[in-house]
Amino acid sequence: MVRTFILKSSEGRTAPDFSIKSLAGSGGRMDLVARCVIAAFATPRGIRKDAVLSIVLEGPPNPPITVTIDGRELNRMFISEVEAAGALRDALSGRPPKGVRVERKGFERLIREMPRESLYYLHENGEEIGRVKIGKDPIFVLGDQKGIDERGERVLDEAGARRVSLGPISYLASHCIVIINNELDQIIVGE
């Protein structure tokens, strides 16, 4: 089972001109994005190979850009925000590390390419995740500090994404990824 996460980053910078020392400011919340990269792939025993993370960057100066990181192809682990953001900056500079792909693609197109039956929209008011039978190769869509805007939600509804909740409390996007990884790891071990 490969789990895919799609992060809609409404302010994530679309040029490699952000400062690694000011990820939250000049990077348009690249700190949040970097934490999601770590949450998706870093484990104490090495790179998580069964995860893919697509980050839709919608910030200035040149949106949209989708950066996809595929754990099956990664050969280095990003354990700090500096390393993860550095890899994103290299990717945006035309020097993507192995396992990282950059495309000129926006949220709507990306979502429409996904198989309907695999799409889950992480939302506080969705169905409790424990009650939902998660299918093979699921795709989880999540928002950034602003959540997902109305237009994005419409795209997800039209694409047939099922809303699933991790509980009534709102968690950080990176923490949601950790929770999902843990949930799915338990399903796999229990199979």
Ligand X SMILES: C[S@@+](CC[C@H](N)C(=O)[O-])C[C@H]1O[C@@H](n2cnc3c(N)ncnc32)[C@H](O)[C@@H]1O
Q: What residues make contact with ligand X under the rule CB under 6 A?
A: 122-124, 142-143, 145-148, 165-167, 169-173, 176
Q: How far is the CB of 51 from ligand X (least distance, A)?
A: 17
Q: Which is nearer to ligand X, 65 or 161 (CB)?
A: 161
Nearest residue to ligand X, scored by beta-carbon proximity: 147
| Cβ nearer to ligand X, comparing 77 with 179 | 179
CB of 11 to ligand X, least distance (A): 13
* Residue 41 CB burial class (10 angstroms; 0-12, 13-18, ≥19): buried
CB of 119 vs ligand X, minimal distance in Å? 13
- CA distances to 45, 78, 114 from 75, rounded to whole Å, are 13, 10, 26
Q: Alpha helices of the chain — where are they, by DSSP H?
A: 30-41, 81-92, 107-113, 150-158, 173-190
Return the number of the residue (77 or 129) whose C-beta is nearest ligand X.
129
Determine the Cα–Cα distance for residues 34 and 191; give it in Å rounded to an integer.
32
Task: Decide whether 90 or 183 has the Cβ nearer to ligand X.
Answer: 183
Closest contact distance (angstroms) between CB of 76 and ligand X is 27
Phi, psi of 6 (to 5 degrees): -120, 115
CB of 183 or CB of 185, closer to ligand X: 183
Closest CA to 81 of 19, 142, 139, 141: 19
Token readout for 88 is 């994103």
CB of 37 to ligand X, least distance (A): 15
